[in-house]
Structure 1
Amino acid sequence: MESTRGLPLEVRLSAYLDGQLPEEEVEEINVLLAADDEARAVYEKLKLGSEFGARAFDRMLQEPIPLDLVRNIKEAGRNEEEAPKLGFVGAPVAAVPAGRRSAFWPQALAASLVIFLSGGAVGYLISEQKQTAFQAASNQFAPARTWLDDIADYHRIYSRQARHLVEVPANDAAHIVEWLSASTGVKFQLPDLSAEKLTFEGARLLVAGGKPTAQLLYRDTDNEVFAICFLQSEPIDGKTSLAESMRNDIGLVSWQKGNASYVVVGPSADPNLERIAEAVSTTI
């Protein structure tokens, strides 16, 4: 048995699994598997692939031999018997040792079995590596989720609520300001949006982007729900410009000011959304 020292871990473990390692290397692998979680995980995958290949081979042996294959074997035997019985330089074929042909088939079958089982183990590993690579590529090119995605999801749910639109109703405005300022770390005033024909309904506390986030809810004369949401962020000097975005049927206008990020949320089809956001950005 040849040494596998210096070869990749998968090769060494495959040889270990097949009983093809020298005794001293078997002890090395035993110690490695006992101490290394990653090595054990690779070993289990190889073992699983080998067992899968063995089961598949067993099933193949149990299947009936196709009639075409039987006919072809018989035909090949008949042609061999009818072939000229001369070897090299006119020597009779019978001079060739008789045991040579019969010894070939067990060797070929054994070799085929080793290749089949090895292929099963290697195929399993390749499949695992391809899946991991595909997931990594998907994660690399997928757009990163932001707090605005969370806000859009919340708005899509809460805007459809009738009796349970808010946690704290509008008639407890003083408590809303105290509660949400303390919870988010952002000082604010409740914007009066009556000029935009919006009525304040109350507030909720959310979690967006992993941070506590305030949600102030308003309703217009058509019973459409709008929201102002904000959370604490890295401080900046001054204020950024308004940025519009959409999440399907949800429109968002966001900006940052001081130590907070803000967004006004409403139906994407509403033409007044940017004007509402401008009013909020100057009063909140």
Structure 2
Amino acid sequence: MESTQGLPIEVRLSAYLDGQLPRSEMNEIDEILAQDDDAREVFEKLKLGSEFGARAFERMLQEPIPLDLVRNIKEARASEDDAPKLGIAGVPVAAAPAARRSTFWPQALAASLAIFMAGGVAGYLISEQQDTDAPLQIAAAPRTWLDDIADYHRIYARQTRHLVEVPASDKEHIVEWLSASTGVAFTLPDLTAQNLTFEGARLLVAGGKPTAQLLYRDAENEIFAICFLQSEPVEGKTTLAESMRNDIGLVSWQRGNASFVVVGPSADPNLERIAEVVSTTI
């Protein structure tokens, strides 16, 4: 991740939106957004453009990209970088004849990225047009409670002293407090077998409803969360559904009168397994 210090605010906010800044600079942008109305206005326009481009990209693909595919690509790339570059009989690749490579996938990927970027630019320009003289209207995709959860997680995962409202040492109060506040009965999941340490809890508002947030930390200091709220009742339990919000992965499901989601880094290969454990113990 490279610093954008000294670059125009639009560039810095775009990198912030994509999660491509060092942690210290992300905190700096947080402060700018909290204090500068003009910066917040630019950020909202960039966010609209990003959402517009994402919708265009999703329509082209016609189906979401599984989180497993994203993780496999990253793992394969890391393995390729670490592997010794040897050819037949241990001959260095540089000394071996270059194999012909298919040009389809690089071209397809470039085309996809071009469409995605064009959509983002179009969204930004459309938002600019709306601020001036054109009556053009764009129907934004409706936000869900998972969008709110992803926004919360992006903020709280960077906290240190103020990660939680109630610490893990007060587990009985956490269960009583969040059950009463959300209307969802639950058991506090023990995820030590998944190498996650319980840090404590918060009460949020997502989708206009009181929402519980249980926070855990792994050995690499990454933050994972379990969030839930009351929802329209379903019979039994639904299957786990994976989704992504930039660098954040979410695995959600419903059970009875509640909706649940496990949140963490999208590249973590254990996210779905953690969600499976939580769905059977919470």
| TM-score, length-scaled by structure 2 | 0.53
Structure 2 residue 265 is the aligned partner of structure 1 residue 241: no
1: CA distance, partners of 2:217 / 2:225: 9
Quick check: 1:225 aligned with 2:246? no
Structure 1 unmatched runs, 5+: 1-126
Query: 1:131 Cα deviation (Å)?
Result: 3.9
Q: Among residues 262, 277, 280, which one is paired with 1:279 in the alignment? A: 277
What is the SS of the residue equivalent to 1:177?
helix
Q: State the one-letter code of the partner of 2:216.
A: Y
2:208 to 191, 210, 221: 210
Counterpart of 1:149 in 2: which secondary structure? helix
Which amino acid is 1:244 matched to? Answer: E
Q: Who wins on radius of gyration, i.e. which is larger?
A: 1
Letter in 2 for 1:171: S
Aligned-pair distance for 1:144? Answer: 1.3
SS of corresponding position for 2:272: helix
After the TM superposition, which residues 168-179 of structure 1 pair with which residues of structure 2 at under 5 Å, given as runs? 168-179=166-177
Please give the alpha-carbon distance, in whole angstroms, between the structure 2 residues aligned to 1:275 and 1:173: 24
Query: Quick one: which of 160, 183, 186 aligns to 1:185?
Result: 183
Deviation string 1:225-274 (CA, Å, 9 cap, x unpaired) is 00000000000101110000000000000000000000000000100000
Cα-to-partner distance string for 1:147-176 (whole Å, 9 max, x where unaligned): 000000000000000110000000000000
Structure-1-length-normalised TM-score: 0.52
Give the structure 2 partner of residue 165 of structure 1: 163
SS of residue in 1 equivalent to 2:280: helix
Computed over aligned residues only, the root mean square deviation of the Cα atoms, in angstroms, reads 1.5
Matched residues in 1 for 2:254 and 2:160: separation? 31
Moved over 3 A (4+): none
Letter paired with 1:275: R
* Greater RCO, 1 or 2 (C-alpha within 8 Å, sep 6+): 2
Distance (Å, rounded) in 2 between the aligned partners of 1:205 and 1:161:
16
Which segments of 5 or more consecutive residues in structure 2 lack a partner in the other structure?
1-129
Identity %: 81
Equivalent residues, number: 152
Q: 1-side partners of 2:134 and 2:203: how far apart?
A: 39
Structure-to-structure mapping, 1:41-52, within 5 angstroms: none
SS of the residue corresponding to residue 145 of structure 1 reads coil
Tell me the SS of whatever aligns to 1:166: coil
Opposite residue 239 of structure 1, the aligned amino acid is K
Separation in 1, partners of 2:260, 2:253: 5
1:1-284 equivalences in 2 (<5 Å):
131-132=134-135, 134-135=136-137, 138-139=138-139, 142-284=140-282
Alignment partners' CA distance in 1, 2:249 and 2:230: 21
Q: What's the offset of the Cα at 1:143?
A: 1.7
CA distance in 2, matches of 1:175, 1:269: 33
Amino acid at match of 2:172: A
For residues 189 and 242 of structure 1, the distance between their equivalents in structure 2, rounded to whole angstroms, comes to 19
CA distance in 1, matches of 2:266, 2:241: 14
How many Å separate the matches in 2 of 1:267 and 1:162? 17
More helix by proportion, 1 or 2? 1
1:4-57 per-residue CA deviation (whole Å, 9 max, x = no partner) reads: xxxxxxxxxxxxxxxxxxxxxxxxxxxxxxxxxxxxxxxxxxxxxxxxxxxxxx
